[in-house]
Amino acid sequence: MATPAYISASAKPACIQSGPACPSFSGLRRTGFEQCMRAPSTFVDLEKVVACRSSRGVVTMAGTGKFFVGGNWKCNGSKDSIAKLVGDLNAAKLEDDVEVIVAPPFIYISQVKDSLTAPIQISAQNSWVGKGGAFTGEISAEQLKDIGCEWVILGHSERRHIIGESNEFTGKKAAYALEQNLKVIGCVGEKLEEREAGKTFDVCFEQLKAFADAVPSWDNIVIAYEPVWAIGTGKVATPQQAQEVHAAIRDWMAKNVTPEVAKKVRIIYGGSVNGANCAELAKQEDIDGFLVGGASLKGAEFATICNSVTAKKAVV
């Protein structure tokens, strides 16, 4: 049977590789890329941008929106465990200047929505590319809105690399979700072999372009940079590695969308974020929050990550 058009021909339904320890090299550019970046029509020298920003005395956000933290519960939980998690979240004291969402498995969305009293919004983990119908196992944006969802996560690496969803298909899904008044967390990120080959920027920019080609506006989109090699592996990009890619994404947005959108859009980091490393990551100027996996299943730790917004006010 022919592969459907929306499935990437190169995608293979294999588990995401954990890879070796977090590489100490930046792994972002091919040989000669620095020279290319000096051309007027290409990107600014991001190393200079990062150095300039890191020299500031007070840590601030490059994005102008509120600090954003999302909890992606993935395919985890039961009625009882989720009830306990919601209870822990309701009891937590969250900072006022952070926007928080949680993404339960589909079948528990109503349970979570009906029992959350904390100021936390509800997201879905996926949605279909169009109106509902004869699409076994899928869920439509209209259905998500009907049960009170406000957000949806699209383009997560587990959808791209295990399910096989292509960049273009992901962009179309985002456009349709926005049309139905769902806000979108759009994920981008490279695999370990792509980083080692110096293709981090190439991969992320191609994924961003697919969103940019499809969506009518960026007003209700948060970008999540999630290096695949750091998701669920216990390995995390260093603050400097994460900042450099976030700065590159913001620069791409300025050059390929508009400078205004680049300033406004929130770019959050995901990849083994936890209560111990969130503060140092949050201090980076272009990191506007987090998309959290495993640590979001622990109420107290997730609250710590949400409250890392206070690190933005810290003096270096």
User: In which element (H, E) is residue 305 found?
Assistant: helix 299-306
Assess whether 156 carries a catalytic annotation: yes
Active-site choice (226, 244, 285, 301): 226
What 8-state DSSP symbol labels residue 17? P
Active-site choice (156, 161, 194, 246): 156
In Å, how far are 53, 207, 284 from 58, measured between CA atoms?
Answer: 10, 32, 11
Cβ-based neighbours of 217, under 8 Å, separated by 6 or more: 178
Assess whether 196 carries a catalytic annotation: no
Angle at 288 between CA 303 and CA 218, to 5 degrees: 120
187: how many CB neighbours lie within 10 A of its CB? Answer: 27
Q: In the structure encoding, which two tokens stand for residue 168, read together?
A: 């273009």
In which residue are the tokens 């919004």 written?
A: 121
| Alpha helix stretches (DSSP H) within the chain | 33-37, 46-54, 79-91, 109-115, 141-146, 157-158, 167-179, 192-196, 200-214, 239-256, 259-264, 278-282, 299-306
Q: Rounded to whole angstroms, how far apart are CA atoms 268 and 279? A: 13
Q: Are strands 120-124 and 266-269 parallel, antiparallel or unpaired?
A: unpaired
Q: Rounded to whole angstroms, how far apart are CA atoms 177 and 126? A: 10
Burial 145-173 (b: 16+ CB within 10 A, else e): beeebbbbbbbbbbbbbeebbbbebbbbb
Q: Are strands 98-103 and 266-269 parallel, antiparallel or unpaired?
A: unpaired
Q: Any idea which residues carry the catalytic annotation?
A: 156, 226
